[in-house]
Amino acid sequence: MGAALAFDPARAAVLAFGGTVKQGGGSKAAATTWQWNGTGWRPIDVGVSPPGRTRALFAFDPSLQGLVLMDGESETVSAPTCAPPTAPDQAGCAGAVSPVQNLTDGWLLSPSGWARIDVTGAPGVGWAAVGDPARSALVVVGETQPPPQGHDGTWQHTSAGWALLSSTGPDYGASIGIDPNSGRLIAYLGQQPYTPPPGYMAPDEPGFTHTWELAASGWQLLPPANVPSMAAGVLTPSPDGSQLLLVNTSGESWARTGDTWSRYSTDNAPKLAGAQSVAAATDTTHHVVVVVASNDTTGDTTWTLSGHHWTKQPSTP
């Protein structure tokens, strides 16, 4: 659950890696590489696998001509060893949780399989990545080291190695993508309004929707013209690769048109409400967007967008 997605040009397919998998009554970080074959997910043999992880960066690096996997977290939760409570006021018990391990390694997936790569000079903690054809680079947004000591920034990996592209970055948690019409780097972050239940000592959250663009002076927050609904979302190319698409947890699809957003017409909508995370990648060979929405209660759901029609798929990685 919660795997990272990326399109692999060499295999002409969307791949998934990591997330969590159930283990007895607990869970652990997954280390399987999956391939979407058009009707379902299947594990593929890629030799020695990177360590399992969640929240990983997974994107195509034009300078290495392969998919790069970086960063992420590893955590193991074991099943409880005591009996569950039998009365409402009886104390319960939980399984043991290993300390969260922040991973800082890097891996390259080529047609021959996975291989470890040197990521010296990369951000210490990355939270978004995308391949930039114009720069022939992998662009990563992150921090120099875990907060509160680190500072935000944007890095690029080219044939010359890692270098700081900008000392600025969009807010933590933003999704980044390339607008194929302008070639510009775009970032999006949204949050639904939230009102806590009665008795909860927490403030109301008004919600927001923010779009940034990377300019020569750094990331710029764009004026709110024709903004999408206030909801979390993910950026990926449209099925035909001609537009930058935003898919949000309200089930809306938006396309970047010039300097603003416009609704991307579909005859139905994916049901993504309640998802804790949403990952997406576009198969530009077969013209299909693949989305995996993860929910701690219901698990993963796979949706595909072909043309202007969304389809819920029975298979999940």
Contacts of 107 (CB under 8 A, 6+ apart): 50, 68, 69, 70, 114, 115, 116, 117
Nearest-5° angle of CA 34, CA 39, CA 42?
25
Residue with tokens 């993508």: 177
Does the structure show a pLDDT above 80 at 222? yes
What's the rounded Cα separation, in Å, for the pair 38 and 13? 9
CB 131 within 8 A of CB 120: no
For residue 7, give both structure tokens. Answer: 């399109």
The pLDDT tens digits of the residues spanning 184-202 come to: 999 999 998 888 888 888 8
Q: What is the pLDDT of residues 135-181, one digit of tens each?
A: 999 999 998 865 556 678 999 999 999 999 999 999 999 999 999 99
Give me the DSSP letters along 66-112.
EEEEE--EE--BPPPSSPPPSSTTS------BPPPEEP--EEEEETT
- Angle at CA 76, nearest 5°, toward 302 and 92? 100
d(CA 6, CA 225): 30
- The helix, strand and coil proportions of the chain, stated in percent and rounded to the nearest 5, come to 0, 50, 50
Q: Give the model confidence (pLDDT) of 46-104 as tens digits.
A: 989 999 998 899 999 999 999 999 998 876 555 555 666 666 666 666 555 566 778 88
User: Would you put residue 17 in left (φ > 0), alpha (ψ -120 to 50) or beta?
Assistant: beta
- For residue 265, pLDDT over 70 is answered with yes
Task: Let me know: does 107 contact 153? Beta carbons within 8 Å.
Answer: no
DSSP string, 169-190: -PPTT-EEEE-TTT--EEEEEE
* Model pTM score: 0.89
Domains and CATH numbers, the chain: 4-76+100-313 (2.120.10.80)
β-pair partners for 157: 138, 162
Non-local (6+) Cβ contacts of 137 within 8 A are: 61, 62, 63, 131, 156, 157, 158
Using a pLDDT cut of 90, give the percent of the chain over it.
Answer: 65
Nearest-angstrom CA–CA distance, 274 and 299: 11
Q: How far is it, in rounded angstroms, from Cα 166 to Cα 189?
A: 19
Least confident residue range of 11-15, 16-20, 86-90, 307-311: 86-90
Question: What is the distance between the alpha carbons of residues 39 and 235, in angstroms, rounded to a whole number?
Answer: 23
Q: Count other C-beta atoms under 10 Å from residue 113's C-beta.
A: 14
Q: Is the backbone of residue 136 left (phi > 0), alpha (psi -120 to 50) or beta?
A: left
